[in-house]
Amino acid sequence: MSRPFSLLRLLAASVAFLWLVPALAAAQEKRPMTIVELIDVPRVGSPALSPDGSQILFTRTDTDWEDNGRMTHIHRIDSDGTGAVQLTNGEHGESSPRWSPDGRLVAFLARRGESEHQQIQVLRNSGGEASPLTDHPAAIGQFAFSPDGTRIYFLASDPLTAEEKKKERLKDDVFAFDEDYKQRHLWSVEVREGETVEAERITEGDFSVLGFQLSDDGARIAHHRAPSPLFDNSDEGEVWVMDADGSNALQLTDNTVTERGARLSPDGSTVLFTSDSSMEFETYFNDNIFLVPAAGGEHRLLYEDMPHEVTSARWAPDGTIYFTANSGIRTELFHAAVDDADPQPILRGDFSVGGWNYQPAAGQHVFGINSPVNAGDLHLLPAEGGDPVKVTSVFDYLDETFRLPRQEAVRWPGEDGVEVEGLLYYPLDYQDGERYPVVVQTHGGPAASDKFGFGSWSSYVQVLTARGYFVFKPNYRGSTGYGDPFLRDMVGHYFNQAHLDVMTGVDYLIERGLVDGERMAKMGWSGGGHMTNKIITHTDRFKAAASGAGAVNWISMYGQSDVRIYRTPWFGGTPWQEDAPIDVYWGHSPLKDIYKVTTPTIVLVGENDVRVPAAQSVELYRALKTNGVDSHLYIAPREPHGWRELRHELFKVNVEIDWFERHVRGIEYEWETAPGDDDDEMMEATDEAGSDRLRDD
């Protein structure tokens, strides 16, 4: 009897210890984050609330260092925060979870088995294995259940013809640039469990359907048609409505701006859409909400005096509108009637709402809240507002484990007296009265803004502040969320007040006694790279700079990039039209003044970047190098505009920190290694490689 009794006591003690572990961990002192830990922070997205409001589907993306990338799977959790379960575990991952209208089925996109393309998969919510509903000859994109649940509508590119497949197989594959696309069209398929069903074509022709939404009764479809699926042709797209079988198609708009998110009102009389344009459909304004009669007629611009940028909008059952909007350093949730002049926020705070979805049947909103200590756990909110209820706990460990920087909203007058706003991140060991080095980071876009939130690996504020830096993120002129005059300051000239806003912000922090003006670094990606390139020609006050995927020559950039629609209004025309505004293009190109640069500058870009092609970084690097500036150019193979491979991400952070520490603070930096690379041989090789990369010529 003694042995079983002792075993039971041992088991009981073990269980008690396991319960004690979280408490012990919580009691341990918090520590700074490493780069790898920051890269490893999961991503939660695509939340979908079940029709009865009892469960939430969402995606979770995690790193896989062995595969050098990330994997996304679908999860489900009860609305009270219990019953969390991972629903899928496919080799290639899954995305876009959707509930059937009765909540019985879950549909999602995945590539399974021998299929070359991602298909619609269907899974019973009660359990079991998912089965493919489609075997379409092209990858499926956006999809949605019909309101009665009997069909699924989806977008897919036209498949390759037999002749095209033959040429592809034989590598007889010379292509016509910007003409090597397939039009994207709408299809539908009957929902049958356990069966693969052939899809029926809804639209056909020499155009692409860019997005769609079924009416509440399933009888009609609001959608966007454009001449091609190319990003730069989106301004030639228009809003259309048609019957669910594709008949009786009617064009509702006729302009030269981009529209998004078309939706029929609950009574079917009106179509809502958003566009970054004015009432007269002049381009380059903060996104706002427009209405147009579903039978055709004059459009209306809603909330014209609201300074914010609408990011997503939905009809409520009573014909009012819910929408999220960027209000500068926050993203908030609003509610308004059609005729309201002043929409009312129903959720606001020092955070950003993301992945918002509204479920009318359940009368609730679901969304992530991205805050300084949480990277976006999901919350529920009653339709009319109130206190959000936290559901998931994916990111609780961040605040429990790590020392995280204090974030503060700061405001200062620009050179012309206009108020500018930004975010300041404090060093972890900040002491009043001491000055610290600063890394100034400018956001991309430039039609965007930096907001309260945890941030991402690419700006690595948690790592920089742990190393004793302030991080300053100014929402310079050209940022969204601050009204149209603020956004449009760069129309006609680009660098007008924007770079001056950055520098007056820096001076403000120096005047406050926070920043050491002799120890400053500048960095940014995309639009932030454009700004970095400008700043180093404007001033020599920064001891180091890192330019990520930035433009340096607006004339060559205009032709090289896959998008021009935003750049035409910046410079007042194209560089190849008659009487082209070449002086404006060249006058605002950092390359024009590159001879002035003395700041040591590294340049980073993806080999396959089509948004800001690598040629721009080559122009910058060659100019700097020829002029004797300490510079290196790093090109990441296979990478597009935003880098995706984990080791490339780790390299970016390592090489930038090394550059800043050497030039700003004059100290050595030990590169952080990837998981699994910690053996002595690998560390030695990495150190040598890092030294070689950074050796001055």
Structure tokens at 566: 């935003």
Residue 311 belongs to some domain of the structure: no
Helix, strand, coil share (%) of the chain residues, nearest 5: 25, 35, 45
Residue 636 belongs to some domain of the structure: yes
Which residue stretches of 492-578 are H helix?
498-511, 527-538, 554-560, 567-571
Instruction: Give the largest CA-CA distance in the chain.
Output: 100
- Measured over the CA atoms of residue 574, residue 578, residue 579 and residue 583, the dihedral's sign is positive
Q: Please, which pLDDT band fits residue 696 given cuts at 50, 70 and 90?
A: very low
Q: Please, which pLDDT band fits residue 679 given cuts at 50, 70 and 90?
A: low
Q: 17-46 pLDDT, tens per residue?
A: 434 444 444 447 999 999 999 999 999 999
Amino acid type, 532: T
pLDDT at 684: 55
| Residue 501, C-beta contacts closer than 8 angstroms, at least 6 positions apart | 414, 415, 420, 474, 476, 477
Give the strands of the sheet with 119-124, arranged side by side.
Answer: 94-99, 105-110, 119-124, 131-132
Q: Is the pLDDT of residue 525 over 60?
A: yes
pLDDT at 481: 97
Contact at 8 Å (CB) between 525 and 549? Answer: yes
User: What is the rounded distance in angstroms from the CA atom of residue 567 to the CA atom of residue 494?
Assistant: 9
Q: Is the pLDDT of residue 13 over 60?
A: no
Structure tokens at 472: 């300053």
pLDDT at 340: 86
Mean pLDDT of 591-608: 98
Residue 279 belongs to some domain of the structure: no
pLDDT at 341: 83
pLDDT at 66: 96
Mean pLDDT of 237-246: 98
pLDDT at 688: 53
Mean pLDDT of 537-560: 97
* Nearest residue to 468 via CA among 215, 660, 326: 660
Q: Which residue has the higher pLDDT, 13 or 567?
A: 567
Q: 611-664 pLDDT, tens per residue?
A: 999 999 999 999 999 999 999 999 999 999 999 999 999 999 999 999 999 999
pLDDT at 4: 35
Domain that holds residue 629: 405-694
Residue 214 belongs to some domain of the structure: no
Contact at 8 Å (CB) between 522 and 656? Answer: no
Q: Is the pLDDT of residue 507 over 90?
A: yes
pLDDT at 115: 87
Q: Is the pLDDT of residue 295 over 80?
A: yes
Give the CATH number for residue 501: 3.40.50.1820
Q: 247-264 pLDDT, tens per residue?
A: 999 999 999 999 999 999
Contact at 8 Å (CB) between 426 and 470? Answer: yes
Residue 416 belongs to some domain of the structure: yes
Residue 270 belongs to some domain of the structure: no
Share of the chain above pLDDT 70, in %: 93
Q: 382-408 pLDDT, tens per residue?
A: 999 999 999 999 999 999 999 999 999
pLDDT at 77: 98
Total number of domains constituting the chain: 1
Give the DSSP per-residue string, 486-501. HHGGGTTTSSSSHHHH
Q: 73-87 pLDDT, tens per residue?
A: 999 999 999 999 999
pLDDT at 10: 37
pLDDT at 690: 47
Which residue stretches of 539-579 are H helix?
554-560, 567-571
Running DSSP on this structure, what letter comes out for residue 295? T
Residue 463 belongs to some domain of the structure: yes
Strand ranges for 184-308 from DSSP E? 184-190, 200-201, 208-214, 220-226, 238-243, 250-251, 259-264, 270-277, 283-293, 300-301
Q: Is the peptide bond before 97 cis (omega within 30 degrees of 0)?
A: no
Give the DSSP per-residue string, 630-669. -EEEEEETT--SS---HHHHHHHHHHHHHHHIIIII----
Which residue stretches of 382-458 are H helix?
396-401
3-state secondary structure of 280: coil
Q: Please, which pLDDT band fits residue 113 given cuts at 50, 70 and 90?
A: confident
Q: Is the pLDDT of residue 15 over 80?
A: no
| Residue 334, C-beta contacts closer than 8 angstroms, at least 6 positions apart | 322, 323, 324, 325, 343, 344, 345, 346
pLDDT at 12: 39
> What pTM does this model have?
0.91
Q: Is the pLDDT of residue 441 over 70?
A: yes
Mean pLDDT of 272-289: 96
The strand pairing partners of 352, in sequence order, are 331, 370
Task: Give the chain's mean pLDDT.
Answer: 93
User: What is the rounded distance in angstroms from the CA atom of residue 73 to the CA atom of residue 95?
Assistant: 7
